[in-house]
Structure 1
Amino acid sequence: MDFPPLSASFTLTLPDWIRDELADVPDVIPDLHERMALVNRLADRNWREGNGGPFAALIAESDTGRIVSVGVNVVLASNVSLGHAEVTAIGTAQARLGVWDLGGSRPDGTPQPAHELLVNWRPCVQCYGAAMWSGIRSLVIAGSGPECEDLTTFDEGPMIEDWAAAFEARGIRVTEGIRRDEAVDVFRAYRRAVDGDLVTVYNARSGD
């Protein structure tokens, strides 16, 4: 088998069905719980469509609820292990706004509004760093307990115990418990598919 040539780029692309899901969604969702409801809805559809795990994220302006970007897990669709929901939401937000710092100034030097990242569970170790360095000013999650790993069987990595305090120390407010039961229901549905061998759980070195 010939070894393929070196690649000069890779792409993380959101699935086409995202457009259908967002077709009737307003540009501004003032209510935090309604924003998380959208995240849970995207997470549930994502695994059913075969793109990746039951995870979704959203970036919005904190004060207004204006939606800047959404993201879902695209590891299976892209064959790139970096393709987590937080990464795709952060990347598409930065691409849309033309900035690498979601907490800094716009390209013309004017201040940006504060941005929040909503996720249907606490970020894994990879996305913990991605979120921290993105420039967001708040992180909103449905929950952070063992339910995610217990139900989905995904390895979320060795998170530090004071992970939330580390965000707060960097000026990133953490809000937890928004539509938690709804998020867990998505994980339960995914687990039934896992037990039925209907989905691929892509933990690294899962065969070792």
Structure 2
Amino acid sequence: MNFPPLATSFTLELPAWVADEIADVPDALPTVEERVALVNRLADRNWREGNGGPFAALVAERDTGRIVSVGVNVVLSTGISSGHAEVTALGLAQARLGAWDLGGDGLPAHELVVNWRPCVQCYGAAMWSGITSLVLAGHGPECEEITTFDEGPMIETWPEAFEGRGISVTRNVAKAEAIAVFEAYRASVDSGAVTVYNARAAE
């Protein structure tokens, strides 16, 4: 069997439709409600476009609401399992600012906004990114129960772990709207129209 040469790079790139979807969005969204509404909107379109799961995120300047980056789940469109919305949004923010630490000297405080509690992978990505606040549309078992995604073995004290590192956590902003996105997604899963890309579940 002939193997291709070793890869030396990979790319997590936003799908082209994202630019059109945010064309009418102001440069700054002053309230967390506005920021969460945008991630719910992006999450809903993302699965319908076939890029990945019903998940989206954004990074904003915490105090001004200036949008630094947006991200959606691109696992299916890229074939990269780590291409989750939080990873995409954080990476694009760091690339734009030229800084691996979003809480570094000379930078404003940055906030990560997500349409659900991060999975076990994105928990670490968010924690080490330098953000100072995390805003979630929802948290709890509904994501896994409705979408059938395996979010991994998260610790029960995850909010305290963020808070202990100076990252404030705000939960349940437009939770009903986030759940409605999951329910629409699940209907398509049940009809066989979309793929749930879980790897191997725990036994």
Q: Tell me the TM-score normalised to structure 1 length.
A: 0.95
2:168 match: 173
2:53 maps to 1:58: no
| Count of aligned positions | 202
Matched position secondary structure for 2:51: coil
CA RMSD of aligned residues (A): 1.0
**1:188 and 2:175 matched:** no
Question: Map of 1:138-149 to 2, 5 A cutoff?
Answer: 138-149=133-144
1:1-208 equivalences in 2 (<5 Å) = 1-105=1-105, 111-205=106-200
Q: TM-score, normalised by structure 2?
A: 0.98
Which structure 1 residue ranges, 4+ long, deviate > 4 Å from structure 2? none
User: By how many angstroms is 1:189 displaced?
Assistant: 0.2
Code of the residue aligned with 1:139 in structure 2: it is: L
CA–CA distance in structure 2, aligned partners of residues 40 and 143 of structure 1: 11
What is the alpha-carbon distance in structure 2 between the residues aligned to residue 38 and residue 32 of structure 1? 10
> Offset at 1:2?
1.8
Helix, strand or coil for the counterpart of 1:69? strand
Summarize deviations over 1:122-173 as a string: whole Å, max 9, x none: 0000000000000000000011111100000000000001000000000000
CA distance in 2, matches of 1:186, 1:202: 17
- Report deviation, 1:5: 1.1
Post-superposition offset of 1:60: 0.3
Give identity over the alignment, percent.
73
Deviation at 1:205, TM superposition (A): 3.1
Q: In the aligned structure 1, how far is the partner of 2:156 from the partner of 2:31?
A: 30
Which structure 2 residue ranges, 5 or more long, are not aligned? none
Question: Structure 1: where are the runs of 5+ without partners?
Answer: 106-110
